[in-house]
Amino acid sequence: MTIRELADKGIFKVVCAGDDTDREISGVFCCDLLSVVMGRGKADAAWVTVMGNINSLAVLSLTDMACIVLAEGAQMDAVGIARAETQGFTIFATDQPIFETAMQIQALLDA
């Protein structure tokens, strides 16, 4: 499933569309502690987190994950949105809890 296909499902709000929407999502990663994410984040994964700040974007980029999905109603701050737009990162958001959000994405990947 590509980033665009996930966006087209309409289950998550698209906060920033991103530049690389043809990129394949190949898994789901959940964690909020950025140092743990740095060490363990899987390339091309959809990263489900409540951390909506500019540092999450740095971690997204450095770990080569495909996109951020902000769960639990968490929001990206204004500085983060501006950075995501200039650097072409994709950010989704949902009010669902982290586990349910991850399960939704995994179900789509398994379909």
Partner 1 sequence: MSDAIVLKYDVPGDDFTRAGEASSDIKQKLRKMGIPPEAIRKVAISMYEGEINMVIHAHGGQITVEITPEDVDMLLEDHGPGIADIEQAMQAGFSTAPEDVRGLGFGAGMGLPNMKKYSDEFSIESEVGVGTTVHMKVRF
- CA atoms within 13 A of residue 54's CA, in its CB half-sphere: 7
State which of residues 5, 13, 55, 106 lies at the interface with partner 1 (CB under 8 A).
55
Measured distance CA(111)–CA(96) in Å, rounded: 20
Phi, psi at 89, each rounded to 5°: -85, 150
Of 11 and 30, which CB lies nearer to partner 1 in the complex structure? Answer: 30
State which of residues 61, 88, 95, 99 lies at the interface with partner 1 (CB under 8 A).
61
Minimum distance, C-beta of residue 106 to partner 1, in the bound complex (Å): 23
**Contact mark string toward partner 1, 63..102, x via CB under 8 A:** xx--------------x-----------------------
State which of residues 1, 14, 23, 32 lies at the interface with partner 1 (CB under 8 A).
32
Minimum distance, C-beta of residue 49 to partner 1, in the bound complex (Å): 8
- Side by side, the strands of the sheet bearing 27-30 are 13-16, 91-93, 67-70, 45-49, 27-30
Task: Say if CB 49 and CB 71 are below 8 A apart.
Answer: yes
Measured distance CA(103)–CA(18) in Å, rounded: 23
State which of residues 56, 90, 94, 96 lies at the interface with partner 1 (CB under 8 A).
56
